[in-house]
Each structure stands twice: as structure tokens, then as C-alpha cells.
Amino acid sequence: MSKKVVHIAGDFGPNQPYELLSSRMTRFLEAYPPADGYQIQVSHKDYLEVRPRVADLWAKAIELGRKPAEFGLPDELPAVVVFEARLLDPDGRTLVTASALRPIQSYKDWEKGETAARQRLVAAAGFHGSLLDEDEREDMADQGIQPGAKSVASEEDDAPKPVKPKPTRRGKRGGKKKAESEDAESAEAIPEAMLAQIEHLAKLKGKTLKKQPQTLDEAKDLLKALLAA
């Protein structure tokens, strides 16, 4: 077993494989390379920023010289922070967002909160989202919705297979070396991780791809369209 994959247990079943963020991030950055202008921004909000109404009530209690409990407020505010991660395209547009709530009791808690937001962003973009599946199942349970008895295939079994770019057709002229060079450029033009991501998002959103992208720009445009759909 790879050191980058651990097995976790929960309501979704025992000993489920989970790929760690550092492993997924490599493929994520291949699909959204910073060199092309993509970036991840992580921000944070404290408890009162997330719940402005509570902040207003606290301010009113202080103004009136009253105890917060008289306004139905807790005596102490929880020391929690909401971390939000955003994936931005080269034009600064938000493609994917994710957030994570983390109690802050030591300095490592802050780092854990940022990591949690990043891993959920990567999962939301389609790179191993098994924990998001668990969130969805819990949400369905809260609403009293029960999924059918048919078992759900594991993410590994259901994952899209990398799509190989079509090789360039060799002409009668130009020689073997030129054709091999064109084939190499075609194969390296679009990262396999990006092609796999396109296939995954298309399947996830019920879209039928009429044709595979032939250039990196086409792949990026298609990926943006699927994320925005």
C-alpha cells in the first residue's frame, strides 16, 4: 500500500482507502498549473464574521450594559474559524470554492484548518471526493432520504480512465522523425490528469462530450465550461 493512501473507517464503511492531499495535489496542479495563471486563495472568517446577527446582538448587549445571556447568547463565543479556499482562473474568476470549520486551540489548529479547506477544494474539483460523498450521504439522512439498496461502486472503480490524445496522422512526406515529433507534441499537449478531469466532470454533470479537445487551450475552455455548468 502506498504511503500516500490511508484506510479510514466511518459510516460509509470500514477501511475505505483515502488518498492524502499531497498526492492529489500533484495531479491537481497538472490540471491547473500556477505557471498558466491558476491560483488557490485561502481566506478565513471568525465566528462573528460568519454570523453577523450574533455580532449585532453582542454589540447591543454591551451598549446597554446587559449580560449576553439575556439576549439568548452564550457566555463565551466558540473559538472557531471558517477557512475558505478558492480556485481562480488566469482572469481572476472563481472556478471552485470549498470551506472547512475548525476549532482553534493551538497554533497547529490553524494549519490544519487551511489544509482541510485545500483538500476539500481539490475534492470539489473532482480529485478523489470520497469525503464529499460522505457529506452528501449525511445530508440525505438528515432530510430523511434513503438511497436505494444497490451498492455504490468505489471511487477507484468509477474513476474515469485517462484519455490518450489521438496521434497525428502521418503524411507521405516529412519523414518518420517529423511524424514522431508531431505525435510527441500531441501526447504532451494536454496533461492526462486534465483529460481525466474533463471526463469525470462530464459524467458527473450528465454531459456528453461530442469530441475530445485537441489542444491545451481547448481543454482549458472545456474544463471551465464544465465547472461553470
Domain extent listing, the chain: 1-141, 160-229
Q: Which amino acid is at 173?
A: R
Distance separating alpha carbons of residues 80 and 102, to the nearest angstrom: 6
Find all residues with CB under 8 Å of 224, minimum gap 6, and list them.
89, 95
pLDDT tens digits in sequence order for the chain, 229 residues long: 455 766 666 555 556 667 788 888 888 999 999 999 999 999 999 888 888 888 788 788 888 888 888 878 777 777 899 999 999 999 999 999 999 999 988 889 999 999 989 988 998 888 876 666 666 677 677 777 766 544 444 444 444 444 434 444 444 444 555 555 545 444 456 777 677 778 777 777 778 887 888 887 887 888 778 777 7
**Residue 32: C-alpha distances to residues 11, 86, 97, 131, 172 (Å):** 33, 12, 14, 22, 37
Rounded (5°) CA angle 145-83-81: 95
Distance separating alpha carbons of residues 87 and 37, to the nearest angstrom: 11
Which SS3 state, helix, strand or coil, does residue 88 take?
strand
CATH topology of domain 1-141: Enolase-like; domain 1 (3.30.390)
